Amino acid sequence: MTDRRLVESWAWFSFVCLTVFCRYVSRAIRLGGWRYFELEDMLMVLAFGFYTNLTIWVNVQEKHPHTNILPPTGTAGMTDAEINDRVYGSKITFVIEESMVMTQFLCKICMCLLYFKLTSGLKKQVQVKALMGYVVLGWLVTEIFFFSIWCRPFVNYFRVFDDNDPQCETSQKHLIMSYFFNISSDVLMLAVPVPYYCFAHPESILWIFWYVREASTAVIVANVPHLYALLRKVFDLGAFGGLVKRTAKRTRYMKHASTSVELNQRQQSDRRMRSENDRSESTENFAHREALPLQMWQRNEYTVDGNDAREMQLDGAKAQSLWRGALGTKSTVVGSTS
């Protein structure tokens, strides 16, 4: 079982480390640098710290598997070294449990913050706020009962003696409350089955495997949504990949076709308006012309016929005809020599 624990816990840890690393690279690309990290990024650092602590102590416990859960014979026949080892094992179990609670809670808060941003401006954001409040409430209730109610005095979590309170040994009520809030607040985060070994076999150490799996899954689920910016950078994808590229092209084509049709219709409408304006203007000009008074024009032509004449005398009758020129008449001035 030792080899299985080491292999599985560190395999999960390696995959989680890769996921978290890619998440922060992706966030740096998207936000423009680590200086612009947001609250959820800081909380994920804390969550990863608790997860790392859990993984380390899970493997440390392999050397100290015994706790204050005593056999049917109690402490009879136990040496001081064995009792001290059980005390140390109980402390390790407490640290693992608290690391598990904090990892779950912080991952849920990070997911709630992500949902809060995704539902910005939508009515569903009210539901996200309620969910976030429920997560915080569940965490507070769980921690208060774990530290001050289920096991009193608190040091009995680590003491090894007969007739100790079962809640100080197995923490069964704490586990029930913790899993109730965990499941009810975020069912989707639990991609693996609930660790029923805690209830069916409270004295067994097999719950360690489920803690590693559940905590790893929680951290992975909380980080995967932030990997898109990195994937787009690495694979040179557009918004949401090739599918959106094709959709964008089709949208641009439809928009261009719609614009062309609209422009054609606008040109035809302009031509019709110009034609109507021309016809209207022609009618108005014609009416204007008809309104002008009738004008009579007279054309007179004058010719002078003289052969080396130095002095011309105009005949009185002909001179008078010059001034009596009528419409269409031709007046002729003839010079004569005396």
Region at 241 (left for phi over 0; alpha for psi -120 to 50; beta for the rest): left
Predicted confidence (pLDDT) per residue in 150-163, tens digit:
999 999 999 999 98
pLDDT score of 282 more than 90 = no
- What are the boundaries of each domain within the chain? 2-237, 239-270
Phi, psi of 246 (to 5 degrees): -65, -40
Alpha carbon distance 320, 316 (integer Å)? 6
Predicted confidence (pLDDT) per residue in 235-265, tens digit:
666 544 444 444 445 555 555 555 565 666 6
Q: Are 180 and 206 in contact (CB under 8 A)?
A: no
Predicted confidence (pLDDT) per residue in 6-58, tens digit:
888 999 899 899 989 988 988 898 888 889 999 999 999 999 999 999 999 99
Q: How far is CA 71 from CA 77, 100, 146, 169, 324, in A?
A: 11, 26, 24, 12, 154
Alpha carbon distance 338, 134 (integer Å)? 137
Q: Is 311 helix (H, G, I), strand (E, B) or coil?
A: coil
